[in-house]
Structure 1
Amino acid sequence: MTMRLIRDGEPAGVGVTPDELHVDVITLAQQDAGFALSPGELTRLESYERELHVALVGRGSVTDPVHAGDLAHMAYRALAHLNERASSGKHFVLTDALYLADEPITGPTAPAAPAAP
């Protein structure tokens, strides 16, 4: 599991922003499941990471909405990659954090996949 999303009113460091969570999912998929990004995607990811790291954890956001959408799209591709490699009967679910589950999680905490950039 990753750190969970920060909730309204919580101090920095208690959780992460959606953009920080997306970077965590991509990094996990790269390190543990061999998820590969193109050279251009890697360059963009590094740029987004630099932008996020100038803020306190739980306060970092990618300021350009198009770039945030690109980051989210990469994260959902990473999630699909993780699920292709999950143990039989298991799957990863991205809600307020990344979870390994036996059954699908549905309801208001299950986010819709972002549209392709």
Structure 2
Amino acid sequence: MRDAAAGARVAAALEAELPPESGTLTVAHLDLADRSTVATLVADRTGPLHILVGNAGVVFEDCAQAEPVTGRTGAVAGVAPYALDEENASRLWAVSGELVRQRLSADHQRRARSGGRS
């Protein structure tokens, strides 16, 4: 996540809705435009990565940021305007948060049934 403070706020909000034994949410710096942050994220992982939420709103083609297009000319290239829409991004973020909550809750329930074993 490029904005670690925003990530920490989201993680705190999610953790507040879950039982303490649900697990840990970790916020990591990740900027897909900077390959060193990807390498650092991978190198710093010490266990499984269950969920990775990305909401950068950036589309890449051939290792370059895609240009917005308003019409199709037969070529499949560029990014449609709806993909850059702030309302769509907010709705997607809300759905992503709900999916994370569901997954963490399911993991918690599975651990509870198995006596705490993962």
> TM over 0.5, yes or no?
no
Q: Which has the higher contact order (CA 8 A, sep 6+)?
A: 1
**Higher CA-based Rg:** 2
**Greater per-residue helix proportion:** 2
